[in-house]
Amino acid sequence: MRFAQEGAKVIVADISGDGAKQVAAELGERAMAFTNDVSRRETSKHLSPTHTVGRQAGCHGQQRGMDRIEQPMLGVDEATFDRVFAINVKSIFHMTHAAVPLMRRARSGVILNVGSVAGLRPRPGPTWYNASKGAANLLSKSLAAELAPDGIRGNAICPVIGATGMIGDFMGVPDTPENRRRFLATIPLGRFCEPDDVAHAALFLASDEASFISGVELPVDGGRCI
């Protein structure tokens, strides 16, 4: 929404095609919707952003009846591990293969990956999720180093926990006021991350004002990583 408000043409790609269409309709004629499973190259290769690719799909394990990844590391089964890494890490591989050739021809471009503070300051429990987000964070820096001669910048945005539909999965406990207060106590600014917090950071990193900023892992965390 923030990018569309600034006049950008927006590709809305989601595994839920109906959800993507609904969002694109709300954004108006400057938006297009695609059904896309980011873990599969054959669906990602058809997406071809030429200026900014913002890869923000994520998985925390509680999908399709799988065991929750928010538990001791030896309690996570292989299928859950594979799905988390396919969505959180392999998706970057697929999207860079789709976008970088076009960006190289244009001699410019911005790759934004939504990592997590879990990849900067991990806590016990979601070890494999932490590892996947650590990979996303480091991949962003490595992309920045390799693609700089082509005029392409790469950065990672690292949010703290937000009050989304996945908050219970992230907390690993029931979503109750008491449990929310326990997590809020770890965030110095005293609130959860909001979508606009991430959107504003993404808009800045994609803009000309950030033309000399590349390879950063930007915490959007209310001071969580202090």
Orientation angle between helical segments 91-106 and 127-147, nearest 10 degrees = 20
CA–CA dist 171, 71 (Å, integer): 10
Given strand 52-55, what is the order of strands in its sheet?
Answer: 52-55, 109-114, 152-159, 217-220
Q: Is the dihedral of CA 24, 217, 198, 123 positive or negative?
A: positive
Count of residues in the chain: 226
129 is catalytic: yes
The string over 132-170, giving b where at least 16 C-beta atoms fall within 10 Å of a residue's C-beta and e elsewhere, is bbbbbbebbbebbeebeeeebbbbbbbbbbbeeebebbb
Tokens of 41: 């190259």
First to last CA, the chain: 30
Side chain identity at residue 86, one-letter code: A
SS3 52: strand
**Choosing from 85, 129, 170, 192, which is the catalytic residue?**
129
Residues belonging to the active site: 129
